[in-house]
Chain A
Amino acid sequence: MSISLKNRSLISISDYSPEEICHVLDIAEDFEKNPHQNLLNGRIIGSLFFEPSTRTRLSFETAIQLLGGNVIGFSSTAGTSIQKGESLADTITMVASYADLIVMRNPIEGSARFASEVSKVPIINAGDGANQHPTQCMLDLYSIRKTQGTLENLEITLVGDLKYGRTVHSLVEAMCNFNAKFNLVSPNELKLPSTVKQHIKDANLKYDQYTELEDAIPHSDIIYMTRIQRERFPDPEEYEKVKNSYVLRNAMLANSKPNCRVLHPLPRVNEIHVDVDANPKAYYFQQAQNGVYARQALIASILGLK
């Protein structure tokens, strides 16, 4: 049976089955080979960013322009009717009457799911607070499959803020579909929440917890680094204690597997030393570029154009 994602909002990565995820990745592969495809032909995409974003917004807007579409929207709420007290439901209803699809980032958790229930056009969640960021997950999966040739049976090492990092949670959930083994490297204060570990257990998969990053590197296929986010710590002293817990340096990759690749959702601060950048195993900038193809694939699929 052919897979169609027409009119299917994407709010959480778990909204799509493993087969549907792979279908999107196949389409993204096609866009990587041939990014300029005038499929939207002037269609309008609403781009509603209720909080600032660099990569996600620019990558979506690039994807839309490569597809020959037009963008309406805002990149912050300054000067919009939201500041006058307009409800999210009203904003979405209004934009849905102008646009064929809405891409939304909003700091309020659950806002994207709610928007998908009031909107007459599909919604792509570009991040709802600390909850979900499924297009980041899609580009992570694309990057993993592209560098490893498969999503199956891989050893994934997750490093840094495993407690608050929403990209880590979504990636674990998604990779549980593909028989992954997880290595969890974090300070005690930032361990993976038990609800996310439960996903691994439910899938009958294994995970090991490490305190030393060096111990996990030699057997990793993917090293997924994350930033320890200052804004998550009410007490600045607590942040200072853990901020430099894990810094990946080039020399540490000497014993890594030939197929090993280093990923990071970006922005990085100092958790990947710049001396890693020249190593062919550093993949984070290509990963960000892959975001354009993954988002092209999602937009085209959801509008029924692929």
Chain B
Amino acid sequence: MEKRKELVVSAIENGTVIDHIPADKVFQVIKILGLETIDKPVYFGTNLESKKYGTKGIIKITDKFFEAEEINKIALVAPTATLIEIKDFEVISKKSVEIPECIEHIVKCANPNCITNKEHDVPTKFVVLKGKDGHVKLHCHYCEKNTTEDKLEFI
């Protein structure tokens, strides 16, 4: 079983595999990372069997390596995701995605009367609050309101 997994991961020559995405978040991850418009081959699967999570999604992007800021975006909707970097069919790094303590620029504040939604030159900034139930809330640095997961809108 492990071996088969390795084969799937290694199936691209160079690029990134994002594994262990919650099955219902694959399309959101694709959107967040802008993979709909990328000009390289992208493969994805969802509702795949996962020993750890029951089901999972996976995305493989050829010739693409992610900056930390882009990875942060994934962490918000797919905190369980694993990032695997591939070079010459070999796994060169494997890391878990961690939700950062602070999120800047990438998510809109859900409060329509927040300064970040009223003035075009004010970038959003949030402190991430992690609940006991595993859900995250983003506490706006400016208006001090919380944006919950179900209201997440990416810029």
Pair B113/A114 contact, Cβ less than 8 Å: no
* Known contacts A109-B142, A110-B142; A130/B119 CB under 8 A: no
Whether A195 pairs with B142 at a CB distance below 8 angstroms is no
Given contact pairs A87-B121, A88-B119, A89-B121, A130 touches B113 in the complex (Cβ within 8 A): yes
Q: Determine if A136 is an interface residue (Cβ-Cβ < 8 Å).
A: no
Nearest-neighbour CB distance to chain A for B138, whole angstroms, equals 13
Interface size on B, residues (CB 8 A): 17
Is B48 engaged at the interface, CB distance under 8 Å to the other chain?
no
Give the residues in chain B near A113, CB-CB below 8 Å. 115, 141-142
Quote the shortest CB–CB distance from A234 to chain B (angstroms). 14
CB-contact partner of B144 in A107, A114, A132, under 8 A: A132
Task: Let me know if A109 and B121 touch, CB within 8 A.
Answer: no
Q: How far is the CB of B68 from chain A (nearest CB, A)?
A: 23
B143 an interface residue at 8 Å Cβ cutoff? yes
Bound-state Cα–Cα, A130 to B143, Å: 9
Is A109 touching B143 in the complex (CB atoms < 8 A)?
A: yes
User: What string of 1s and 0s marks CB contacts (under 8 Å) between B118-155 and chain A?
Assistant: 11111000000000000000001111111000000000
When each residue 93-127 of chain A gets 1 if its CB lies under 8 Å from chain B and 0 otherwise, what string results? 00000000000000111110110000000000000
Binding site for B on A (CB under 8 A): 12, 87-89, 107-111, 113-114, 128-132, 195
Can you give 11 A-B contacts (C-beta < 8 A)? A12-B144, A109-B111, A109-B145, A110-B142, A110-B143, A110-B144, A111-B142, A113-B142, A114-B115, A114-B142, A132-B144
B35 at the interface (CB under 8 A from A): no
Q: How far is the CA of A64 from the CA of B147 in the complex (A)?
A: 38
Q: What is the bound-complex CA distance between A111 and B121, given in angstroms?
A: 12
Give the complex CA separation of A177 and B113 in angstroms. Answer: 29
Closest to A106 in B: B115
Contact residues in A for B143 (Cβ distance below 8 Å): 109-110, 128-129, 131
Assess whether A114 is in contact with B122, with CB atoms less than 8 Å apart: yes
Task: Find chain B residues with CB under 8 A from A110 CB.
Answer: 114-116, 122, 140-144
Q: Which of B39-97 contact A (CB under 8 A)?
A: none
Q: Do the beta carbons of A108 and B113 come within 8 Å of each other?
A: yes
Interface members, chain B 5-49 (any A CB < 8 Å)? none
Q: Across chains A and B, which 4 residue pairs bring their CB atoms closest together, nearest first?
A: A110-B142, A109-B143, A110-B143, A110-B115
- Which chain A residues lie closer than 8 Å to B121 at the CB level? 87, 89
The reply to whether A109 and B113 contact each other, CB–CB distance below 8 Å, is yes
Q: In the complex, A195 Cα to B145 Cα: how many Å?
A: 10
Closest A residue to B140 by beta carbon equals: A110
B104 to chain A, nearest CB (A): 13
Q: Indicate if the CB atoms of B142 and A89 lie closer than 8 Å.
A: no
Among A87, A89, A108, A132, the one with the most B-chain Cβ atoms within 10 Å of its Cβ is A108
**Cβ contacts under 8 Å, B115 to chain A:** 88, 108-111, 113-114
Instruction: Please give the distance in Å from A61's CB to the nearest CB on chain B.
Output: 25
Given A129-B113, A130-B113, A108 and B118 touching (CB < 8 A)? yes
Q: From residue B124, how far is it (CB to closest CB) to chain A in Å? A: 10
Residues from chain A with Cβ under 8 Å of B116 in the complex: 110
Q: How far is the CA of A108 from the CA of B111 in the complex (A)?
A: 10
**Residues of B contacting A128 with CB < 8 Å?**
143
Residues of B within 8 A of A130 (CB): 113
Q: How far is the CA of A8 from the CA of B87 in the complex (A)?
A: 51
B128 to chain A, nearest CB (A): 15
| A60 smallest CB distance to B (angstroms) | 22
Q: Which residues of A contact B141 (CB under 8 A)?
A: 110, 113
A113 to B142 alpha-carbon distance, docked (Å): 6
CA A132 to CA B118, docked complex, whole Å: 17
Do A131 and B144 have beta carbons less than 8 Å apart?
yes
Closest chain-A Cβ to B143's Cβ sits at a distance in Å of 4
B residues less than 8 Å from A129 (CB atoms): 113, 143
Task: For chain B, residues 98 to 123, give those with C-beta under 8 angstroms from any C-beta of chain A.
Answer: 111, 113-116, 118-122
